[in-house]
Amino acid sequence: MKRTVLLLLSAFLCSVAFAQVDEGRDLSKYADDKFGLDDQYTVATPYETVTVGPVKSRRIKNVIVLIGDGMGLEQISVGWVLNGGHLNMDNFQVTGGSRTYATDKLITDSSAGGTAIATGVKTKCGYIGIGLDGKPVSSLLHHAQALGKKTGVVVSCRINDATPADFVCHSDDRHEEAAIAAQYVDSGVDFISGGGRKFWEGRQDGRNLIEEMKERGYTFVDTDEDLKKVESGKLLGLFAPLDMPPVLDRGPILEDSAVKALELLDNKKGFFLMIEGSQIDDWGHRHKIGHVAEELFEFDRIVGKVLEWAEKDGHTLVIVTADHATGGLTLIDGSIEDRSVKVHFSTKGHNGIVVPVFAYGPHADEFTGVYENAELSAKIRRLMK
């Protein structure tokens, strides 16, 4: 496919350039209001979407939160056009809106935005799982553990990056990545999948966190092939030294990790699982609409698989939302029939619009309206028993 070749070449060039400049993902500081490159995209072959019906039960056993990092309604709209007017997210009959601002800035970063979703506490940019007083706050994942549920985190960025860490760790500086990674060792999280292997081995403190996790009973995998072989128990998957490559380079590892998490976490007491489409945000920062679209497509395909699983299970609440939107994206031209778009990016940073909340399953009706991102977390916590 032409789009595959072009995107792979673009991804390679971008990865080389960014590897030489900055290993970090906190790119909001680079906002400069320049019109971006790669502002047009066409999809030759759309993917098929699924259709699910409502569930009758009001009992919640499992909670799955899917976060599209940097995914506002504008990114979703672009994806909908490019896939010919169809997304798996179209299945959601219950919708709401989440305000994303932090306590110290109108335009949040993923640390504060993710902490609010994870814990129900609004906080400062750069803070991971702590409140304004600098003290740790309990997340939805910690609440699930206290209830005896299994837990999991699946991402395509480094596992110690802001959003996944917001659910597991505590820090007053998101850039203390080695220290944040070390907190996973005693976290008790049953399923961990993402990138960032360089923070787990070859560390300056001499620790090998992978070996420490193995000693705690985790199966370690670093390939999709080995992931698929795991049939039970706790799992640690680290599939890249830093963040994973773009989706057309990395293959279906995020999708396969999400499916494997559903398989391994399912149990009588239930589970809490957070899945992040991490790189929708990355490519929005870089003004690459083709990459934004492909990352969103993968996220939406995962949404479809989760919805099908939840429909069959009947006792699973599914929430899809975002920590913030990225890029000041505007859809200015295109065609549903031709599956093409032309867009404009107004910033290389984040923007402060309300982001969507989609809900499916038992008590989904309680997520309508517009509310604070912290209230979204509070709603989930009240329902998770």
Enumerate the active-site residues.
Answer: 110
Question: Identity (one letter) of the amino acid at 204?
Answer: Q
Distance between CA atoms of residues 322 and 124, nearest Å: 17
The DSSP output letter for 144 is H
Q: By the 8 A CB rule, do 219 and 133 touch?
A: no
Distance between CA atoms of residues 277 and 154, nearest Å: 9
Q: Tokens in use for 227?
A: 């992931």
Using DSSP's 3-state secondary structure scheme, residue 152 falls into strand
Distance between CA atoms of residues 51 and 292, nearest Å: 24
Alpha helix segments (H runs only) across the chain? 2-21, 73-82, 110-119, 140-146, 162-168, 177-182, 209-215, 224-229, 247-250, 253-265, 279-285, 289-313, 373-383
Distance between CA atoms of residues 295 and 254, nearest Å: 10
In sequence order, the 6+-apart residues with CB closer than 8 A to the CB of 77 are: 331
CA neighbours closer than 13 Å in the CB half-sphere of residue 53: 4
Greatest Cα pair distance, the chain, in angstroms, is 56
CA distances to 143, 213, 235, 261 from 217, in Å: 22, 7, 9, 17
